[in-house]
Amino acid sequence: MSGGLKQRLEDMSAPSFVGREQELALLTHSWQRARQGAGGLVLISGEAGIGKTALVGCLAAEAREQGALVLTGSAYDLSSTPPYGPWSELVESLSLTNAAPGAMSTVAGLKKLGSEDILFDQARNFFRNLAAEQPLILILEDLHWADQASLELLRFVARGIARNRILVITTYRDDEVTRGSSLYRFLPLLFRESDANVLELDGLTRANIHGLVQARYPLSQSDLDRLIDLLHTNTGGNPLFLREMLRMLEADALLAPDEPVLQLGRPEQTSTSSLVQQVIERRLDFLSQSSRELLSLAAVIGNEVPLDLWQTASGTRDEEFITRFEAIVTRPLVRQVPDRASVRFTHEVVRQVIYEAIALPRRRRLHQQVAEALMAQPSPDPDTVAHHLRSAGDSRAVEWLIQAGERALRASAYADSAERYHAALQLLQAGGGDEARQGWLCYRIARLSLYLEPDRSLRYLDEAERHATNSGDRVLAAFTRFDRGTVHMGFNRLDHALNEMEPAIQALQALESDTTTGDHTVGDR
């Protein structure tokens, strides 16, 4: 660890930095190797509030001072992350940096999307060109929410940086990486293909907490032991919870820095099982009802809240909105985003607590308000609109999910496209909707799975044919049979293939001159 970085860490008295010397040393070693041309990938895992972002931020600040270009992108939980969402945000952050002049000229080339192979090659060359001008650190936050296309790109980029001045750092919550998540399937590949370094952040030890508390509060040994027991038992060493509990004790005048007094009863009398919730609710008590309602709306919008969307969805006039907004930002719940007309919650846990406290009927109404405000904007993000409509129980979510699938398809994010179509299909099935449309969605998913997952493709083709039969859609029935023959041909089942494809071709030829087949919307196919 460099002297400057060590001093920076020692200067950080916040719980997020206590007890992280070894992890920071390993992260610094990876950075110094990358700086010398031996790039690599570091995966940092741990629960919410454990200090992942703080650790990365500490290294990033030092690396910038040493001439590095640091770019950051994040995945988000409230709305489905759009294809390559974290990477797009990372590239967009380039405009906020002091990048070398030649760096900006490469951005336009990256945005000209072609096939997936072309896009991946463009991205790799883009980052290599940046690293040729100055050492590069790419930070991808909250990968447990990342879309599959973003993980595929990470895998590709990580394989090609060993001889470049590029360090890729990712963070994710290990407790949210379940069998159903995309990251669950990708982690073994990342470990194997890129020789990634792994940092698993655990809670602070009792000794760590002792050092932190002793430096700040000159208590007697007995009071110090009681306080440490209380903090360790109720926070599990989580730096976020630890910091909030100390704030709560100070706010209640039970504890004060630089004063040898601990006005604390028995530890069991100060239960903090829902510590963060208590702290946040206490901060909300200082807000008016109208400001609290505005903050609830922000929690529904997401972790980053654009001011124009927030005001439009709230239906408030300028002065009224400004008054409520000013009251909210005086509390340590949200902070303004530099160079952007938006705010972020100080931590995702803060937003989550506020969001979960909203009664379900009201939550659905707020999602509806946000969806309407988004749809009134020019070219709204289809994934975000679909998310809010689904959360509101609005059937229009089907249309927006299909739009999101089409966008993913144009970006060559085939797995993400199939995922959106499948979500739209589920909504149609739940509502007993249009059988023909269900059939065409099944057909789309089957086409996207044709070569990568042929068994899955066959299942969806069978489902599509069933819907075609029930709805009398002869076009869909013919297409379905022809593609099923294609799948059989891939399995070298030539007899099966011919038995499917020949009748399908005949049916399509008959339909070509048949004016009674009806009108089929292109968007449904």
Q: Count CB neighbours of 474 within 10 A.
A: 18
d(CA 110, CA 126): 7
**Residue 301 Rama label (left phi>0; alpha psi -120 to 50; beta):** alpha
pLDDT digits (tens, 9 = 90+) for 190-212: 888 888 899 999 888 888 888 88
* 446, 464 contact by CB (below 8 A): yes
First to last CA, the chain: 58
* Average pLDDT, 10 consecutive residues per value, the chain (525 residues): 47 60 91 94 90 91 93 78 84 69 45 65 88 94 90 90 93 84 87 86 88 83 85 80 80 73 52 58 82 94 93 94 90 82 84 89 97 95 95 95 93 88 93 87 90 85 90 87 80 74 76 55 40
Side chain identity, residue 63: A
Contacts of 345 (CB under 8 A, 6+ apart): 298, 299, 303, 305, 333, 334, 351, 354
pLDDT digits (tens, 9 = 90+) for 422-441: 999 999 998 877 888 999 99
Chain mean position to CA 265 = 42
Alpha helices in 114-173 (DSSP H): 116-133, 148-159
Angle among Cα 351, 352, 353 to the nearest 5 degrees reads 95
Q: Report which of 211, 228, 213 is spatially closest to residue 267, judged by C-alpha positions.
A: 228
The helix/strand/coil state of 256 is: coil
pLDDT score at 269: 41
Beta strand 40-45 with 166-172 is: parallel
CA dihedral 436, 441, 443, 444 (to 10 degrees): 150
The first and second tokens of residue 331, run together, are 């509390």
pLDDT score at 320: 93
| β partners of residue 139 | 72, 169
Contacts of 405 (CB under 8 A, 6+ apart): 416, 417, 418, 419, 420, 421, 424, 444
What are the φ/ψ torsions at residue 100 (nearest 5 degrees)? -60, 150
pLDDT digits (tens, 9 = 90+) for 476-488: 888 888 888 888 7
Residue whose token pair is 């509990």: 245
* 275, 234 contact by CB (below 8 A): yes
| β partners of residue 335 | 344
Give the CA radius of gyration of the chain: 27
Give all strands of the β-sheet with 334-336 in edge-to-edge order: 304-306, 342-345, 334-336
* 412, 113 contact by CB (below 8 A): yes
The first and second tokens of residue 163, run together, are 């001889």
* 239, 58 contact by CB (below 8 A): no
Q: Is the pTM of this model over 0.85?
A: no
d(CA 215, CA 251): 19
**Residue 94 Rama label (left phi>0; alpha psi -120 to 50; beta):** alpha
The first and second tokens of residue 325, run together, are 């907004």
Beta strand 136-141 with 166-172 is: parallel
pLDDT score at 147: 87
pLDDT score at 231: 83
Q: Count CB neighbours of 119 within 10 A.
A: 23
pLDDT score at 263: 63
- The CA–CA distances, whole Å, from 444 to 22, 135, 285, 421, 483 equal 50, 43, 51, 8, 11
Q: Which residues of 388-425 are buried (b: 16+ CB within 10 A; e: fewer)?
A: bbbbbebeebbebbbbbbbbbbebbbbbbbbbbbbbbb
CA dihedral 96, 97, 100, 104 (to 10 degrees): -30
